[in-house]
Amino acid sequence: MNSFADLMCLLLTFFVLLYSFSVLDVKKLESFLTSFQGQGVLHTENLEEIGAPGETEDLNPDKVIDPELLQLYREIMAYLEANQLYEDVDLKFVSRGLVLTIKDRLLFDSGKAVLREDSKIILSQMAGLFSQLDHDIAVEGHTDNIPINRALYPTNWELSTARATSVVRFFTEEKKLDAQKFAAVGFGEWQPVAPNDTEENRQLNRRVVIKIYTDGEGHRIE
């Protein structure tokens, strides 16, 4: 009988020991993580997922650690303010870099992918600023959901891709920027920033997005 009691006691001790290993001391873990804060080792508040093409998270420029992008942000903002372009151009920081969004009416005539002559003024200004950088740049074309169905552009896929390509070719062929730093991609109607239920919203969706990536976060596949 004593041997059975001893066996039960040993089993109980074993399970108590297993349980003690399985319990997570949250306060100790938090204390451990906190000990790293401010030492450049771990910043839990900055741990975020890398955004998708439609990424909209707006970061405070004061927290951006890439000095070249911060300077670019200030110069573009000064240009937009001086030329009163806030209605057609949006600029913000996201987790992977700087995002410049331009409404299509500033660049193209309706249903076309040939750059308007007056659009080259702002693009030339941007090219001058981009020439100072060694960052990767992606140009995205986006449309609304109205079918286009033209011989040259059977769908919005072709139109959005052609528009992105026109902008990249302007930068690389006319302004002689390094083509290896650029990528052009069309998303058609499939990355809307607003429901396509009003003309105002459709105008928001018809856009060209220029993404200047934080160093090391670029589009190139090595």
Position 10 scores a pLDDT of: 66
16 and 109 co-located in one domain:
no
Do 125 and 207 fall within a single domain?
A: yes
Mean pLDDT over 204-217 rounds to: 90
Written as one string, the DSSP assignment of the chain is: -HHHHHHHHHHHHHHHHHHHHH---HHHHHHHHHTTTTTTS--GGG--PPP-TT----B-GGG---HHHHHHHHHHHHHHHHTT-TTTEEEEEETTEEEEEEEGGGTB-TT--SBPTTHHHHHHHHHHHHTT----EEEEEE--SS----SS-SSHHHHHHHHHHHHHHIIIIIS---GGGEEEEE-TTSS-SS-TTSHHHHHHHSEEEEEEEPTT--S---
List pLDDT tens digits, range 45-61. 332 333 344 444 565 65
135 plus 184 within the same structural domain: yes
Residue 155 lies in a domain: yes
Predicted confidence band of residue 147 (pLDDT cuts 50, 70, 90): very high
Its domain, for residue 24, covers: 2-34
Residue 119 placed within a domain: yes
Q: Structurally, how many domains does the chain consist of?
A: 2
Q: 39 in a domain, yes or no?
A: no
Q: Is residue 12 part of a domain?
A: yes
The model's pTM: 0.71
